Chains A and B, each alone.
Chain A
Amino acid sequence: MMRISCVICGKCDLGKDTIGINKKLLGANIANFYCMDCLAEYLGCTVQELLDKIQEFKDEGCTLFK
């Protein structure tokens, strides 16, 4: 499986949930990914708010987070 790093800080091996929330909020076909901290910074929100979103998507059964 391809390893994905944060396009901003270079953090390696982004997890499944991090990749899922990137795709969910930035587009399914994006080429660059952010780690949770950099994504929160980019979107102007907190990491906790992103985690809340991830949990809601999981509860809805979104396959991006399975």
Chain B
Amino acid sequence: MIYADNAATTQLSKAAFDAMTPWLLDEYGNASQPYAFSRKPKKALTEARATIAKCINAHPDEIFFTSGGTESDNWAIKGAAFTNGQKKATITSMFEHHAVLHSCATIECLGYPVAYLMPTANGVITPKALSGMISNTTHLVSIMFANNEIGSIQPIKELCEIAHAHGALFHTDAVQAIGHVKIDVQELGVDMLSASAHKFNGPKGIGFLYIRKGVEIAPYADGGAQESSRRAGTENIASIVGMATALKENYDAIDDQCINICALEHYLLSSLSNEHISYFRNGGANTLPGLISLSFAGADGEAILHRMDLAGVCISTGSACNSRNTEVSHVLKAINLDENLAKGTIRISLGKNNTMADIDAIVTALIRIVQ
């Protein structure tokens, strides 16, 4: 089996797995308890928080552990809305992940206005578009760091400056990007940032929300005093340690990994071109390393996915049959991709474990299907 769907999830790193096991078996103490048996888990929690904070240039007190990207996004959007301030409006984009879009739909139903920015054909939210929509009633701007379907990286720093100039908070869903490109929250200036461990070779079911010191958002879960009383619930030490280990491992090798994955990406695209396969690459020039959204005119993306699966290759598609029609994804609709291309869109997402031999197999299978 060749796994080329790393944007969906990634393989757990061996180092992360090894770091997790003691906390699942022997050191099972509750980190919130005052006795000696809980001292080690408490220390592990502190160290994991510090490790993650260092990776993104944050302070440890600004890292809040969650169950993953979806919870982080829900908390950022709803928590910002429910602070009971004078300003109630939120701005986001039409091609965010559903964790953001559906959270926005929820607050809209509760009377908080939400406006949706349209990306360019290359999948970019421009500073000009945000400037044209933002006002002094805007409380929160939420724009993803990089799109999960087409990989386009957003001008977060510029967008953030516009938000702050209007007294608004800025949240970015960095789930797809963190651990794959360098992210410095100080340099970007973001107020909140969502992350999920399983996207960067950590375990599933764990993530974090970076909340800049001084930013007021409503707590996500009421209960105990965990996470500074903002997200109650006994800490999942094993997963938190696994997440910190995986993130550090990726950050320590991020430059080399980026070079290797970009080389694989270039090899894949040039191999298709050499075989005279006609395709359209979505996402413009500035995309996440290894995230390749390809459209084949007149093809059926879902059929390509299933035939690649039968050939032993895991990829994703931008269109899926909803029992009656082929439904094009909201991302491809948002970038206004021609329907003939949209229906024939697939996503190949390469990771650090892929090899040149994998690319050869992917290209061979793909050529057989689309030629």
Contact = CB atoms under 8 A, between A and B. Distances in A.
A8 interface: no
Interface residues of A, number: 15
Contacts of B310: 25, 43-45, 49-50, 53
B303 interface: yes
A54 to B, nearest CB: 11
Interface string B288-310: 00000000000010110011001
A62 B310 CA distance: 19
A27 B300 CA distance: 7
Contacts, number: 30
Contact of B306 (A44, A53, A61, A63): A53
B323 A62 contact: yes
Contacts of B311: 43-45
A63 B300 contact: no
B323 A61 contact: yes
Interface in A30-66: 43-45, 49-50, 53, 60-63
A53 B305 CA distance: 12
A12 interface: no
Contacts of B302: 24
Contact of A27 (B303, B321, B323): B303
A17 B321 CA distance: 16
Interface string B319-339: 001011000000000000000
Contacts of A43: 307, 310-311
Interface residues of B, number: 10
A28 B306 contact: no
A25 B307 contact: yes
Nearest to B309: A53
Contacts of B323: 60-63
A26 interface: yes
A24 B324 contact: no
Contacts of A25: 303, 306-307, 310
Nearest to A45: B310
B293 to A, nearest CB: 21
Contacts of A44: 310-311
Interface in A1-26: 24-26
Contacts of B307: 25, 43
A51 to B, nearest CB: 12
Contacts of A49: 310
A7 B227 CA distance: 64
A24 B302 CA distance: 8
A43 B313 CA distance: 13
A53 B308 CA distance: 13
Nearest to A26: B303
Nearest to A57: B321
Nearest to A27: B300
A58 to B, nearest CB: 11
A47 to B, nearest CB: 11
A56 B306 CA distance: 11
A45 B309 CA distance: 10
A46 to B, nearest CB: 9
Contact of B300 (A28, A45, A50, A61): A28
Interface of B: 300, 302-303, 306-307, 310-311, 321, 323-324
Q: Which 8 A/B pairs are nearest by Cβ-Cβ distance?
A: A45-B310, A61-B323, A43-B310, A63-B323, A25-B303, A25-B307, A62-B323, A25-B306
23 contacts: A24-B306, A25-B303, A25-B307, A26-B303, A27-B300, A28-B300, A43-B307, A43-B310, A43-B311, A44-B311, A45-B310, A45-B311, A49-B310, A50-B310, A53-B306, A53-B310, A60-B321, A60-B323, A61-B323, A62-B321, A62-B323, A63-B323, A63-B324
Interface of A: 24-28, 43-45, 49-50, 53, 60-63
